[in-house]
Amino acid sequence: MKRTITRSIAGMPASDGAGVKLNRLLGQPALDFLDPFLLLDHFSSDQAGDYIAGFPEHPHRGFETVTYMLAGKMGHKDNAGNEGVIAAGDVQWMTAGRGILHSEMPEQTDGLLSGFQLWVNLPASDKMQEPRYQEYSAECIKSEHREGAVIKVIAGTTSNGTVGPVADIAVKPLYYDITLVSKASFNEAIPEGHNAFIMVFDGLLTVEDEVANSGTINVLSSGDSISITAGTDGARFLLIAGIPIGEPVARGGPFVMNSKAEILQAFQDFRQGHF
């Protein structure tokens, strides 16, 4: 059964960290949550004042953050001694688990900085696991070439067998960055039972005659496959899917747990220096 677009929602201007300007697609009033996905932000500016203050040290518990860079460089550092820089085409999949303090700061003072941050929930059984990182450079991420299409596979396995480097994630995600030339079509399987969405960030496309414009997040219906056709100027978009967890979601700023009591405990643990 082919998937269709059930909702198409424009991103909402927002800011986070120390004032980084971004386009919030998921985690806004029009689309608060799509199990297991909690938030999707797109940051993109060549004005240093929009991003230079970055995301100074802050805590996380109970979920995963996925940072995917399109342009520029972002340095990261945490209280466990991990430190590095992710550049254009790189991805970092951080499992915050029971708690971590980290910062994400631009490694540039001018030029374009562009990328995405996705928050992925963890099931209750995994929320208090040890924090960990999966970090891959652009060279480690395989691209699959089809007629009129290039699919960069960050997580999951395509119908043609291209495997993304990110592995051992509870919700069995697909995370594809797809580029289509003018009027090209793309057909792909999506596991039945996965919740899925498309985020268009260049051009426009159609899914079963429904149009998805640039700057929108498009929630997909149930089904086991999708057919996408680019507009006359081509298109570039993210296709993301994952198994819904189906558990209560309690949020408190940078913490995502299953109950209010667990959120209060997270704040107490953070204040007492237990992260």
Please tell me the predicted confidence (pLDDT) of residue 79.
Answer: 87
Please tell me the predicted confidence (pLDDT) of residue 208.
Answer: 93
Q: What is the pTM of this model?
A: 0.97
Please tell me the predicted confidence (pLDDT) of residue 137.
Answer: 97
Please tell me the predicted confidence (pLDDT) of residue 226.
Answer: 98
For 66, the token pair is 């996925």
CA-angle at 115, arms to 211 and 48, nearest 5°: 120
Work out the pLDDT band at 106, boundaries 50, 70, 90.
very high
Supply φ then ψ for residue 270, to 5 degrees: -65, -45
Work out the pLDDT band at 81, boundaries 50, 70, 90.
confident
- Taking only the tens place, the pLDDT of each residue in 218-265 is 999 999 999 999 999 999 999 999 999 999 999 999 999 999 999 999
Please tell me the predicted confidence (pLDDT) of residue 80.
Answer: 82
Q: Is the pLDDT of residue 185 over 90?
A: yes
- Taking only the tens place, the pLDDT of each residue in 113-171 is 999 999 999 999 999 999 999 999 999 999 999 999 999 999 999 999 999 999 999 99
The DSSP line for the chain is: -B--EEEEEE-EEEEETTTEEEEEEESBTTB--BTTEEEEEEEEES-GGGTTT-EEEEEEBSEEEEEEEEESEEEEEETTS-EEEEETT-EEEEE-TT-EEEEEEES-SSS-EEEEEEEEE--GGGTTSPPEEEEE-GGGS-EEEETTEEEEEEESB-TT--B-SB---TT--EEEEEEE-TT-EEEEE--TT-EEEEEEEEEEEEETTEEE-TTEEEEE-S-SEEEEEEEEEEEEEEEEEE----S--EEETTEEESSHHHHHHHHHHHHTT--
Rounded to the nearest integer, the mean pLDDT of the chain is 96
Average pLDDT over residues 14-43: 96
Work out the pLDDT band at 3, boundaries 50, 70, 90.
very high
Work out the pLDDT band at 82, boundaries 50, 70, 90.
confident
The CA distance from 36 to 251, in Å, is: 13
| CB-based contact 102:78 (threshold 8 Å) | yes
Please choose, from the candidates 37, 19, 20, the residue with its C-alpha nearest in 3D space to the C-alpha of residue 28.
37
Please tell me the predicted confidence (pLDDT) of residue 200.
Answer: 98
